[in-house]
Structure 1
Amino acid sequence: MAKTLEQERLAFEEDARRLDERRRRLEEKEREQAITTIEKSGLLKLEAKRLAALTDRIKALGIDAVEKRLAA
């Protein structure tokens, strides 16, 4: 436990900084995992124009609608 309020405040800020760093690393890992999944699916092998059209269509329909259509 910190001896003074200032020490306690500094300890709290350090904990918050470490937590932010952990959160940033987790987000990077999640992004890398998502990219790997897309690579494995073969989508990155599409020509750029075709991939752009596909992603535009997904944006227009929404993820939920696309998942529903693909499941049908």
Structure 2
Amino acid sequence: MAKDLDKERAAIAAEEAKLVERKKQLAEKERDASLKVIEKAGLMKLSLEDLEALVGRIRKLGVEEVQRRLAA
């Protein structure tokens, strides 16, 4: 019985490791997609200084406030 429990624990651990890897891959895909959107919008053409200033303003106001203002 103890061997069966050990096998079950090992199987669960292996599944958890696979899930962690899948989550990591998904996060990388999401990051790549986000960067493509940013690049498509032309934001990658900004100087580093201008991009930092823009991101700082967005951070200060909050994303929701920026979206509200842009929608108006």
Tell me the TM-score range normalised by the shorter chain: over 0.9
Instruction: Structure 1: give runs of 5+ residues left out of the alignment.
Output: none
4+ runs deviating over 6 angstroms = none
Partner of 2:50: 50
| Whole-Å separation in 2 of the counterparts to 1:48 and 1:24 | 28
Partner of 1:23: 23
TM-score normalised per structure 1: 0.94
Shift of 1:4: 0.5
Shift of 1:47: 1.1
- CA offsets, 1:41-61, max 9 Å, x none? 000101111111100000000
Instruction: Structure 2: give runs of 5+ residues left out of the alignment.
Output: none
| Whole-Å separation in 2 of the counterparts to 1:51 and 1:30 | 21
TM-score normalised per structure 2: 0.94
Please, what is the CA RMSD of the aligned residues? 0.9
Pairing 1:3-22 to 2, within 5 Å after superposition: 4-22=4-22
- SS across alignment from 1:4: helix
Identity %: 46
